[in-house]
């Protein structure tokens, strides 16, 4: 099967990053979101990143223009009919994703593979919302997508070997390194990362240290490129909370209980970089 056109559903932080990488790798991209202003914002982010790469001399202006010309935007999920491969990157909510998968299954051609960029939700359950569970797979990119080399590939219970092989090849064609894992809550990336972030928040909550001190310890002491609280702000505190809830509920183990301070920040609308305030303030 030849993949020519990739539909990216969701033009937020992850979706726009995936669309950018796919367009730069030579694929035709359809970028979808539910409202025109969301797709425009996603496209604006891509344009900004590509412009910056041109300014730094890392990309030619012609390559930027070619990548942008490969992306078209839509607010109609029915556009899935023109896609060979779909990557869903909508909000981290099982009911919303399940609905998207039902609609994609109806609209996409029979050969199309439906992948989810979910960071913790069960691929097997998303697949069960379609009539093609063997063609459903997890393709979990890391943030910021254009920079991070990993794609965690998650095989659902019914995912066909051939679908896994095609997805692995696609990840490589996008310049990423695929790592395959099985379908359990949080997969590997977030099962390991989120308890660290949660524990860092507990350190602030319990008055052990300020956010700056916690992050300094992890940066200077453990050589992490950014501290866990700055990283939580980058990921989005609502997303961190959603993933911790999935781990907590999925394993029934109190070690995954989300810190009350995280819940409070999310309730306050302090979601990190995207809202201008999380553990830090942003312009
Ligand atoms: N989009 C595109 N490119 C970006 C970017 C963004 N949002 N942010 C930074 N970059 C690029 C910069 O343009 C720069 O590119 P060049 O080297 O070509 O000039 C490069 O990344 C380095 O950026 P900076 O010099 O500005 O800053 P830095 O060296 O501190 O790197 C970072 C920034 C790459 C984000 C680095 O701090 C880092 O690796 N942080 C950890 C990120 C991480 O852990 N991500 C995983 C999150 S978990 C996840 O995503 C999974 C989940 O399910 C929650």
What digits encode the pLDDT tens for the residues 58-68? 999 999 999 99
Our mutation pick for probing the ligand 1 site, out of 144, 148, 218, 227, counting the most ligand atoms within 8 A of Cβ, is: 144
Instruction: Please indicate whether residue 56, judged by its CB atom, sits closer than 6 Å to ligand 1.
Output: yes
225 and 263 housed in the same domain = yes
Look at residues 182, 211, 244 and tell me which one is the last residue of a structural domain: 182
Q: Which of 162, 182, 202 lies at the terminal end of a domain, its last residue? A: 182
Q: Are 218 and 200 in contact (CB under 8 A)?
A: yes
High-pLDDT (> 90) share of the chain, %: 99
CATH code for position 53: 3.40.50.720
d(CA 56, CA 213): 33
Structural domain contains residue 155: yes
Q: Which of 13, 15, 139, 147 is the best mutation target for the ligand 1 pocket, counting ligand atoms within 8 Å of the beta carbon and taking the most?
A: 147
pLDDT tens sequence across 178-225: 999 999 999 999 999 999 999 999 999 999 999 999 999 999 999 999
Q: Are residues 169 and 126 located together in one domain of the fold?
A: yes
pLDDT at 283: 87
The predicted model gives 118-128 an average pLDDT of: 95
Total of domains in the chain: 2
Mean pLDDT for all residues in the chain = 97
Average of per-residue pLDDT across 74-96: 96
CB 58 near ligand 1, within 6 Å:
yes
Q: 1: pLDDT confidence band, cut at 50, 70 and 90?
A: confident
Using alpha carbons, select from 77, 112, 82 the residue that is nearest to residue 96. Answer: 77
Residue 139 main-chain phi, psi, to 5 deg: -135, 90
| Span from the CA of 70 to the centroid of ligand 1 (angstroms) | 24
Is 280 part of a structural domain of the chain?
Answer: no
Over its C-alpha atoms, the chain yields an Rg (Å, rounded) of: 19
Angle at 261 between CA 255 and CA 263, to 5 degrees: 80
d(CA 241, CA 207): 20
> Is there a single domain that holds both residue 113 and residue 163?
yes
- Asked which of 161, 182, 203 is the last residue of a domain, the reply is 182
Residues 176 and 230 in one domain: no
Asked if residue 136 and residue 43 are part of one domain, the reply reads yes
**Complex-level ipTM beyond the 0.90 threshold:** yes
Closest CA to 243 of 264, 262, 270, 268: 262
User: Is 257 found in the same domain as 177?
Assistant: no
Q: Which domain holds residue 87?
A: 5-182
281 lies in a domain?
A: no
């Amino acid at each position: 099967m030849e993949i020519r056109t990739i539909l990216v559903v969701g033009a937020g932080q992850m979706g726009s990053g995936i669309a950018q990488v796919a367009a730069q790798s030579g694929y035709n991209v359809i970028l979808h979101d539910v409202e025109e202003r969301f797709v425009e914002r996603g496209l604006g982010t891509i344009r900004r990143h590509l412009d910056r790469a041109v300014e730094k001399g890392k990309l030619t202006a012609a390559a930027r223009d070619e990548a942008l010309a490969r992306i078209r935007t839509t607010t109609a999920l029915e556009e899935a009919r023109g896609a060979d491969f779909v990557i869903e990157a909508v909000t981290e909510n099982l009911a919303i994703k399940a609905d998207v998968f039902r609609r994609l299954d109806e609209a996409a051609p029979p050969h199309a593979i439906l992948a989810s960029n979910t960071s913790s939700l069960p691929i097997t359950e998303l697949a069960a919302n379609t009539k093609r569970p063997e063609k459903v797979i997890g393709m979990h990119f890391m943030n910021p997508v254009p920079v991070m080399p990993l794609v965690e590939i998650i095989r659902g219970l019914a995912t066909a070997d051939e679908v896994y092989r095609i997805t692995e090849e696609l990840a490589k064609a996008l310049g990423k390194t695929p790592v395959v894992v099985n379908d359990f809550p949080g997969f590997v990336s977030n099962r390991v990362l989120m308890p660290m972030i949660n524990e860092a928040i507990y350190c602030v909550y319990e008055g052990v240290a300020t956010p700056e001190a916690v992050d300094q310890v992890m940066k200077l002491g453990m050589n992490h490129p950014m501290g866990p609280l700055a990283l939580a702000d980058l990921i989005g505190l609502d997303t961190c909370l959603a993933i911790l809830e999935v781990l907590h509920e999925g394993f029934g183990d109190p070690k995954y209980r989300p810190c009350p301070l995280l819940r409070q920040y999310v309730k306050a609308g302090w979601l990190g970089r995207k809202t201008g305030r999380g553990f830090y303030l942003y312009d």
